[in-house]
Amino acid sequence: MTGKVLLVDDDVNILAAYSRQLRKNFEIWTASEAEQGFKVLNREEGIAVVVSDMRMPGMDGIEFLGAVKSSFPNTTRIMLTGNADQQTAIDAVNEGNIFRFYTKPCPPETLEKAIKAGLLQYNLIVAEKTLLEQTLAGSVKVLVEVLSVAARESFNTTKLLRDWAKGIAQQLEMSNAWELDVAATLSPIGQIAVPVEVTAKIQAGDALTTVEWETVNRVPEVGSKLIDNIPRLQAVSRIVYFQDKGFDGSGFPNDWVVGKDIPLGARILKVLIDLAKITQGAPPGRAAFDELEKHSSLYDPEILATAQTFFLSEKGRPVEEPAHEILGLPIDELLAGDCLATHVRTIDGKLILSSGEEITQALIERLRNIRNINRLNEPIFVQRATAKTANVLV
């Protein structure tokens, strides 16, 4: 079993002895103090096991392994010490979350067995983390694909919200900005449960019945329930649930949550979603914020001020569009990420998709199915980012 192992001990003779014995089966790095150990960890990617002495100059082994846990949580940590008192062992386990604890002198074969067990532990953690990340990414992608087909107008707005949210998150130095990013992307997912007739009435500006309004108002709840089934997205689910909640406690949901008790991401989305409605997707200017100020009780004043500073400054100005080319393609050559340069219609003139809409894999499959029933006008003209500037969204 091979793997990267770091040995840290201020006794160079012990380091040399263990290194000779262990190099047969492991990739060995050594350091004579904690500071050198961190240099190795930062330089060499994928150190799986750290074996540290207790008594060292400067930072002792308990402090060092505790710091390793904070900066490299996947790495397995093993303590070696010549001080065999019980309190040292207790402190090592409690403060450093030690995987194994051994006293000196430790036979090389015993240490080798411990390192092999540590490598298995490391590989299990990394495999589980990779599986979770792939499951998470795949689940979000499926929901985005569903949104792209079932709620086209909302899907096109989410890209804008996502870009805006990134800027605000940077301004606020959010530690979990990825949660806001996913929440902005999935914020309208609950709209897939709104009947087509109700959506048409909203787009036409027609009055809704009380029942229809209740259906629309519960969009965040439906979206939250969908997202809540995905591992590690509970915080995102909560942001989506409270996205329409006013800072003063008004709006959905009708509960006791008010002010700073509303999730930070939801308070940000409330500002951004309302800005998008006012500007219809254009970059917010002074007039848009003047409109929000008329209902200032609905918004967190700190976030409103941050958004105003961001959008009315150089940082908030639109980024120059990447270079692209116009291509006329058959449906089978379309790619996810292409943007429609013209409308897509059937041979008899029925509008299927509008110019400016972004193509997803789900939409490509839908177009293929429509083509099998009603002939489409092909080629389909799209904007595609050139090779030098193309980015893939996952």
d(CA 390, CA 382): 14
Name the CATH superfamily for 4-127.
Response regulator (3.40.50.2300)
Q: What pLDDT, on a 0 to 100 scale, did the predictor assign at position 96? A: 59
Residue 351: what are its φ and ψ, rounded to 5°? -75, 125
**How far, rounded to the nearest angstrom, does the alpha carbon of residue 199 sit from its chain's CA centroid?**
30
- Identify the three-state secondary structure at position 270: helix
Q: What pLDDT, on a 0 to 100 scale, did the predictor assign at position 388? A: 46
Say yes or no to pLDDT of 286 above 60: yes
Residue 187: what are its φ and ψ, rounded to 5°? -55, -35
Q: Which two tokens stand for residue 86?
A: 């019980």
Element (H, E) at 79: strand 76-81
For residues 107-146, one letter each, b for 16 or more C-beta atoms within 10 angstroms of the residue's C-beta and e for the rest, the string is eeeebbebbeebbebbeeeeeeeeeeeeebeebbbebbbb
- Where residue 141 falls among pLDDT bands split at 50, 70, 90? confident
CB atoms within 10 A of CB 300: 20
Mean pLDDT of 242-260: 94
Do 4-127 and 151-316 share a fold? no
Q: What pLDDT, on a 0 to 100 scale, did the predictor assign at position 48? A: 93
- The domain segmentation of the chain, as residue ranges, is 4-127, 151-316, 324-385
What average pLDDT is seen over the chain?
A: 84
Q: pLDDT digits over 188-215, tens only?
A: 888 888 887 887 887 778 888 989 898 8
CATH architecture of 151-316: Orthogonal Bundle (1.10)
Q: pLDDT digits over 3-59, tens only?
A: 899 999 988 888 888 888 888 889 999 998 888 999 999 998 889 999 998 888 888
Q: Which residues contact 97 (CB under 8 A, 6 or more apart)?
A: 65, 66, 69, 77
Q: Which two tokens stand for residue 162?
A: 């996502």
List residues bridging with 327 in a β-sheet. Answer: 382
Q: What pLDDT, on a 0 to 100 scale, did the predictor assign at position 45? A: 86
The answer to whether residues 313 and 366 touch, using CB atoms and an 8 Å cutoff, is: no
Q: pLDDT digits over 71-123, tens only?
A: 898 899 998 887 665 666 666 666 657 888 888 888 888 999 999 999 999 99
The answer to whether residues 81 and 61 touch, using CB atoms and an 8 Å cutoff, is: yes
Which CATH number does 324-385 carry?
Answer: 3.90.105
0.85 surpassed by pTM: no
Q: pLDDT digits over 145-171, tens only?
A: 777 776 666 777 788 888 899 999 999
Pairing of strands 76-81, 47-53: parallel
Q: Which two tokens stand for residue 273?
A: 């979603």
Say yes or no to pLDDT of 385 above 90: no
Say yes or no to pLDDT of 172 above 60: yes
Q: What pLDDT, on a 0 to 100 scale, did the predictor assign at position 317? A: 58
